[in-house]
Amino acid sequence: MEDKKLTHLTTSGVHMVEVGDKPEVRRTAIARGRITLQNDTIKFIEKGEVKKGNVLTTAQIAAIQAVKNTPQMIPLCHTIPISGVEVEFKVTDNHIEAMVSVSSTGKTGVEMEAITGVSVGLLTIWDMVKSVEKDEHGQYPSTSISDIEVIKKEKIELD
């Protein structure tokens, strides 16, 4: 098994990893996650009856903004040139799955950007529907965000 180490740790604390000597590579990462909601909430979203507005369009914009701002949220994450972001939602009777694909040409990866986009997209959905998800005690017994993961990471060498 390959010897692995935590690259951000040094003898004096932490540092931002030097990537200057790495070659530029075309990189893509795809992440997904899901938010579980009540069936009635899903119907409100599908019918466009959520008072705060179009839930999925707003969540798409939020996910894209999150991708672009990942280095401001994750302390040791490099700023990278994002060349494309795709955000898709799959709606079922009891959950919405978010999928975010991020592309860049650079010296370090895009997986943190993809999972940040998924996370913020799902949080935006929750925020927009929280008034109908709350029970009589102001709690969220049916609402959860889960299964956030990177499902694909790809590097393509440049010619």
127 part of the active site: yes
Per-residue pLDDT tens over the stretch 107-117: 888 999 999 99
How confident is the model at residue 138, as a pLDDT?
A: 96
Task: State the pTM of this model.
Answer: 0.90
Q: Which of 3, 21, 40, 127 is catalytic?
A: 127
At the top level of CATH, which class does the domain 30-157 belong to?
Answer: alpha beta
Nearest to 87 by CA among 42, 46, 31: 31
How confident is the model at residue 6, as a pLDDT?
A: 56
The CA distances from residue 94 to 13, 33, 38, in Å, are: 45, 14, 6
